[in-house]
């Protein structure tokens, strides 16, 4: 068996094409162009690439974007003042604070300061709570991207056992909560594993769908995967000057039914979902959401 590739790049391109049409319709109906404001603190090379990719993606679908680049030494108070100004700016519909932030800045304080109606990353506790209750305003970008990949690849989730490797606030917890909900591309039985999980490989081998989001290069090996499982690799790590995921791709591809590549899997979907949330935020601002 050689696993079928789940092509996130192609799926994201189709979503962006649809979004471009929706942005045009929205702009024609309201004379408003959705705008994303991205805040980048420091010189982290990966963060700079991510922000540049998001900026280019906005342009391609007809959205506006502003990038605020701040020195790594920027005081937390100054960053909070910027977020407050963006909250008050009616031309800005979505605010993205690129993580990680410098060590002297308390991430939760900054993320909580973003107005819930502009929180297109879905990090604010109000939006997280709405998601948990199944009445989401926004869905977190990477978990939603994973969900769409599962839907578009035809992966049956109703009653399936999904194992999530990782319990982060950005991916692990929210993707588990989304897939256990009542609804389409959900209704799964979900297990979350983490660094303290005992007999990890025994649990992962029971997964119909295995989602790896732990940030350890090539951690998931073939003996951890049930033959015929669907494997979603959220990780992106630099190893020997190349990008690899959390899954040992070649050996797992030989036994899985379907697998996402790195790069070209989850990454493009994250940006597509961010654009979708920004359009939703613009609609909410016009009372059209």
Q: Go through the chain and tell me how many residues it has.
A: 289
81 noted as active-site residue: no
Nearest to 155 by CA among 14, 259, 263, 276: 259
121 noted as active-site residue: yes
Give CA–CA dist 28/265, Å, rounded. 33
Q: Which of 54, 118, 226, 283 does the annotation list as catalytic? A: 54
Strands 237-239 and 242-244: antiparallel
Q: Which of 35, 119, 121, 218 does the annotation list as catalytic? A: 121
The dihedral through the CA atoms of 88, 98, 52, 34 has a sign that is negative
54 noted as active-site residue: yes
* CA max distance for the chain: 57
> Which residues, 6 or more positions from 166, have their beta carbon under 8 angstroms from its beta carbon?
172, 192, 193, 194, 211, 212, 213, 214, 215, 234
The percent helix, strand, coil of the chain (3-state, each to 5) is 45, 15, 40
Give CA–CA dist 116/129, Å, rounded. 11
Angle in degrees, 0-180, between the axes of helices 45-60 and 266-285, rounded to the nearest 10: 60
Strands 230-233 and 258-259: parallel
Q: Which of 35, 98, 147, 208 does the annotation list as catalytic? A: 98
Give CA–CA dist 21/256, Å, rounded. 36
- Active site residues per annotation: 54, 98, 121
């Amino acid at each position: 068996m050689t696993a079928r590739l789940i092509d996130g790049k192609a799926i994201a391109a189709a979503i962006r094409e649809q979004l471009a049409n929706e942005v045009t319709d929205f702009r024609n109906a309201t004379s408003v162009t959705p705008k994303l404001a991205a805040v980048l603190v420091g010189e982290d090379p990966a963060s700079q690439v991510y922000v540049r990719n998001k900026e280019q993606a906005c342009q391609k679908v007809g959205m506006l974007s502003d990038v605020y680049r701040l020195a790594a030494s920027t005081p937390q108070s100054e960053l909070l003042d910027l977020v407050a100004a963006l909250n008050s700016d009616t031309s800005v519909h979505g605010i993205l604070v690129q993580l990680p932030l410098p060590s002297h800045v308390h991430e939760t304080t900054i993320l909580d300061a973003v107005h819930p109606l502009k929180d297109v990353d879905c990090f604010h506790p109000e939006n997280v709570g709405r998601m948990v209750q199944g009445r989401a305003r926004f869905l977190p970008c990477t978990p939603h991207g994973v969900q769409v990949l599962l839907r578009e690849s035809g992966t049956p989730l109703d009653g399936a056992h999904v194992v999530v490797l990782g319990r982060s606030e950005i991916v692990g917890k929210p993707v588990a909560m989304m897939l256990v909900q009542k609804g389409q591309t959900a209704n799964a039985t979900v297990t979350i594993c983490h660094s303290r999980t005992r007999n990890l490989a025994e649990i992962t081998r029971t997964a119909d769908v295995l989602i790896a989001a732990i940030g350890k290069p090539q951690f998931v090996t073939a003996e951890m995967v049930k033959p015929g499982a669907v494997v979603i690799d959220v990780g992106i790590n630099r190893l020997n000057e190349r990008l690899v995921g959390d899954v040992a791709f070649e050996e797992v591809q030989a036994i899985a039914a379907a697998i996402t590549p790195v790069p070209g899997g989850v990454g493009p979907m994250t940006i597509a979902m961010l654009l979708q949330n920004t359009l939703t935020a613009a609609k909410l601002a016009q009372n059209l959401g």
